[in-house]
Structure 1
Amino acid sequence: MPGSQDYSLEDKEKNVTPSEPDVYEVEAAEGTPDRVIAKRYGALGPLLSKLFASGVEARGVERVPEDQREVKNIWNNLLMWWSVNMVLTTIPVGVLGQAAFSLTLPHAIATIFCFGALGGVATAFIATLGPITGLRTMIITRFSSGYVGGTIYSILNILTQLGFSVTAVILGGQTLANINPGTLPLVVGIIIIGVCCLIPCFIGYNVVHIYERYAWMVTLLIMLFLWGLGGKAGFDINAQKPLEDTGRALSADVMSFGGIVFGSFTGWAPVAADYNCRLPANTPPMRVFVLTFFGLWLPISFVVTLGAALMTITDPVYVQAYADGSTGGLIGQVLSPWGRGGRFILFLLAFSVIGNNIPNTYSAGLSMQALGRPFALIPRFFWTFLAFVIYTVAGVAGRDHFSAILSNFLSILSYWTAFFIVIVAEEHFIFRRKNGPLGGYNLDDYDSPSRLPLGVAGILAGCFGVAGAVVGMSEAWYTGPLGKMAGGAIYGADLGFELAAGFAAVTYPPLRWLEIRLTGR
């Protein structure tokens, strides 16, 4: 179906033919989504109107029209990702380099920088689609994988954001509990962190951006303190040398840790467009790409490397602190020379996870709306609250298994985000390019199943991606045949995300071409 690469209102009127009404079709007549949603709920309408008038965001997954975009400083895009990633939650990723794979610090740093750059490029591309389409990320997937495929991706993203949230509240709760050991139960700490994450997400988009615009300033200073205090305690770059593997086993460790690093970057890809869909449609994509890339790569690499460096401290007191209290215990020990000042910094660091968990909570609610029209009819803030309840309860239940949850979660996360990114990218650059088979996006089709692709090509390519992940993965509970071959008879190399992306990249173009030939969309 031909589309328009120019996203002006005039061109859309020329290119878009009538289709079945979408959930928000009356918005154009009534002006804003708050009036549409309030009227939808009858007797509850006045209450919702007051809620929206107080500042709670009404808009959910519906498209933001060009004439309702906000002209903001695009540098906020860089600052937001700095705040999201310059946090306590990022440190344990680096800790896993030594704790799980016994890599020396130089090998861990090389892995972090290289795999991080790859993940940063992938996520930054997805971010560029926000201003182009005015849509949330999970809705954009409908243009490559259809309505059903978009629903499948939404389910995966809900699990992803809830998984991130669980690790965030556990780590924040651990850190609060370690400020004065024995005085604050871990369960209470987890609940406190969860509630603090909920408040800005419940209110919505503008408050999320305001918070993230400034939060990085405090956390950057704290990270510099940790670097200095850790160095004073004594970094030993060869601390893991006697334990590090060699040969193919070392390669397997690097690939497996690299998959975790890649997942920590691409974990943001399924939400990357959510936070700039209100930028003007003529915002230069390259500018969005560059700011998003450096907003991810610089802070994540900086903080993940800090986590790896802290694990090289060989002082028995620090080693025991990690054994007793995981990452939170180790950081508490690093700050202990400063006494009460260190405890205050630990307090601030515990609450830094709010900045990291805000996009998880906010986008989990949006992904719940993206499951389909019946879900989109329910206000966004309800789904945000439900997400908070789920991950807080899960955090309390899994509070004693943080490292295992983090390691397995990030590895598996990288599998599906890899083929998701590949499919969306191939759709954009091959089939939706200006002179391509479809010529662009008919953006008003986002909620019209009969005008979206059937999704057979996207779903099948995703299935091939899953097959690639299965044969290449290496987890504690399963190692695929190719992963085992790459790592040797004893050690497996986690090639899951590479093969997932490769299988999807090879199969999607011919399948999509055939789908277009048969259906015209």
Structure 2
Amino acid sequence: MTRQGPLAQRLSAAVRSATAVETSGIEPIPANDREGGPGSSFTLWFSSNVQFSSLTSGMLATAAFGLGWAQALLAIVCGSAVGAAAIGITSTFGPPKGVGLLVQTRLPLGRRGAAIPAVLVFFKACAWFAVNSILGAFAVQTLIGTGFGPAFAIVTVAQVAIALVGYGFIHLVQKAMALVLPLLFIGVSLYGYTESDLGSGFDAAKAGPLGFVGAFALVVAIQAARALSFSSYAADYTRYMPVDTPPRKLFLYAFTGTWLGSVWIASLGAAIGTIAFIGTPTDLVGQVLPGALATVTMLALGVSTITSSCLDCYSGALAWLIAGVRMARWQAVLVVGGLGSAVGWFAGQGDYWKSFENFLIILGNWIAPWLAVMLVQRFLVPSHDEDAPRNFGPGFASWLLGLLAAVPFMSQPGVFVGPIAESHPALGACAAAVAFLTAGLIHCALTRNSRTRAATPTDDTPKEIHA
């Protein structure tokens, strides 16, 4: 029997710790159980954005909305920056309190009020789980030459298994994928960029009534919404970090990882969109990529989808608990996996493109005002004022009014088109921005008294946020 050196011992201990099944739920993480550094946020969010849904969101820019590649790239850069900033900021919410962002939502929205976005996050997670399971199943199906059913089972079981083990294992998997995925995607990137029409111009016929401004704004909105949808999860993956984790470093790592992964793969999707309109990963094989490269790409897409969707399964389970459902975390993981699998199974039998586009836009509409309330609460409301209202707090009214203000601007063809979006299609991408600004301004006004009281000396001491 050989003795392990110090480095091997530390590595072995780290792997054992990461693969131990997590027993915590939504309660605050004790200080002596905190570990890890901000760098793990880079690998987690980079890996999570190197996936097929990033590719398809970029492809919409050129293949569906008619932007030239350079125009699409600029829109993708801007939209990704907005979403990455949201993830970066919300990642910093985890270490100070040791709880996820949805638990902290109870402060401004109240305990009953916070249950509503928790339920929405739960269903959002199930929907993303379904979308990614479909995409992953298409990739696995093409890779191993089996039917949709077996491929779908492989993908969903793998996603649920990672989420069942929990926080440490998710970070370990994402660190490994941050090394593996770039190697797998480099071939399709070289081929896609060199074979596509990077000099393509704006196609007015594809843009239709949107025009150039509307198409550009819509791509920014879709790209921002895709990354923004992760912001409700971000603190779930930093709540085990020490209380003194530097927030600026944490923001920088999370922002950079999200932005780089998103811009790289979405711009690749926009490039491929100048060649062909890809409906599923299978179409990449038949219409774009040659044999050996297609095989490697299918492997990359299948793996990346699994590593991304495990976040939906894990955080969706926590949201279900925050909504007030009494069960163990592992049971909630099975609920998300089961419901998401059922939705994905039925949706996977048809074309998902228009649903995918509408789904991304709708996410931004309700998450944006919620995020605005949380930012005002974090940076403007005094930190000692931490008694969560039993029912509904002022933040609930701010969130709801912000959402209502956006209704006239909402544009989901086939679902709902607001009067302003109908008469001015180019403004249909502004709904999330309107909701964000309205909710933020209203919550500033409603919490003005709290900020005034903070200027007066008080003997009150901070209270914990109880799950």
Query: For the superposition of Structure 1 and Structure 2, which TM-score range results when normalised by the shorter chain?
Result: 0.7 to 0.9
* Partners of 1:237 and 1:312 within 8 A in 2: no
- Pair 1:54–1:192, CA change in 2 (3 A): closer
8 Å CA contact 2:188–2:293 kept in 1: the answer is no
User: Given the alignment of the two structures, is residue 273 of structure 1 paired with residue 273 of structure 2, yes or no?
Assistant: no
Q: What is the CA–CA distance in structure 1 between the aligned matches of 2:296 and 2:69, rounded to whole Å?
A: 29
Secondary structure of the corresponding residue to residue 29 of structure 2 = coil
* Superposition pairs of residues 44-443 of structure 1, within 5 angstroms: 55-70=20-35, 72-179=36-143, 183-238=145-200, 241=203, 243-245=205-207, 249-313=211-275, 322=278, 326-333=279-286, 336-337=289-290, 339-340=291-292, 342-372=294-324, 375=325, 377-399=326-348, 400-432=350-382, 439-440=383-384, 442=386
1:17 is matched with: none
Q: Is the Cα contact below 8 Å between 2:156 and 2:341 reproduced in 1?
A: yes
Deviation at 1:346, TM superposition (A): 1.4
Alpha-carbon displacement from aligned partner over 1:476-511 (angstroms, at most 9, x marks no partner): 132212323443xxx663211011112111211222
Match runs of 1:504-519 below 5 Å: 504-513=439-448
SS of the residue aligned with 1:267?
helix
Whether the aligned pair in 1 keeps the contact of 2:192 and 2:272 (CA below 8 Å) is: yes
Question: Kindly tell me: are residues 342 and 250 of structure 1, through their superposed partners in 2, closer, same or farther at Cα, counting changes over 3 Å?
Answer: closer
Q: Relative to 1, partners in 2 of residues 1:53 and 1:206: Cα closer, same or farther, differing over 3 Å?
A: closer
1:402-427 deviations in whole A, cap 9, x for unaligned?
A: 21221111000011111111000001
Q: Equivalences for 1:22-41 in 2 at 5 Å? A: none
Q: Is 1:497 paired with 2:432?
A: yes
Please, what is the CA RMSD of the aligned residues?
2.6
- CA separation of 1:475 and 1:345: change in aligned 2, threshold 3 A: closer
User: Which residue matches 2:406?
Assistant: 469
Structure 1 letter corresponding to 2:309: N
| TM-score between the two structures when normalised by the length of structure 1 | 0.78
The amino acid across from 1:404 in the alignment is: K
Residue 516 of structure 1: how far off its partner (Å): 8.9
1:154/1:467 Cα in 2 relative to 1: closer, same or farther (>3 Å)?
A: same
- Provide Cα deviations, 1:85-109, integer angstroms capped at 9, x if missing partner: 1122321111111233122212211
Counterparts of 1:259 and 1:153, CA distance in 2: 21
Does the 8 Å CA contact 1:171/1:402 hold for their aligned counterparts? no
User: CA–CA distance in 2 between the matches of 1:502 and 1:228?
Assistant: 40
Cα 1:345–1:53 shift into 2, 3 Å: closer
Query: Following TM superposition, by how much is the alpha carbon of 1:341 offset from its aligned partner in structure 2, in angstroms?
Result: 5.7
Q: Normalising to structure 2: TM-score of the pair?
A: 0.87
Contact 2:19 2:169 in 1 (8 A): no
Deviations 1:312-355 (A, max 9, x none): 12xxxx56xx3xxx131332247742x35632441342122111
Query: In the TM superposition, what is the alpha-carbon distance from 1:162 to its structure 2 partner?
Result: 1.3
Q: Secondary structure at the match of 2:113?
A: helix
- Per-residue displacement from partner, 1:344-397 (whole Å, max 9, x unpaired)? 44134212211111111100110011012xx2x421000001110111110011
Please report how far the alpha carbon of residue 232 of structure 1 lies from its aligned counterpart in structure 2 after TM superposition.
4.5
Show structure 2 runs of 5+ residues with no match.
Answer: 1-16, 454-459
Aligned to 1:481: 419
Contact 1:475–1:494 (Cα < 8 Å) also in 2: no
1:192 is displaced (CA, Å) by 1.5
Alpha-carbon distance in 2 for matches of 1:206, 1:245:
45
Structure 1: segments with no counterpart, 5+ residues:
1-51, 433-438, 446-450
> Deviation digits for residues 100-123 of structure 1, max 9, x if unmatched?
312221221111111211221122
Larger Rg: 1
CA contact (8 A) 1:147 1:454 kept: yes
Cα offsets for 1:143-177 (capped at 9, x unmatched)? 11110121111011112111211110111111222
Cα deviation per residue 1:427-475 (whole Å; 9 max; x = unaligned)?
Answer: 111113xxxxxx4364xx6xxxxx5475331111111121122111111
Describe the SS at the equivalent of 1:56.
Answer: coil
**Matched residue of 2:80: which SS?**
helix
What percent of counterpart residues are identical? 22
Q: CA deviation at 1:515?
A: 8.1
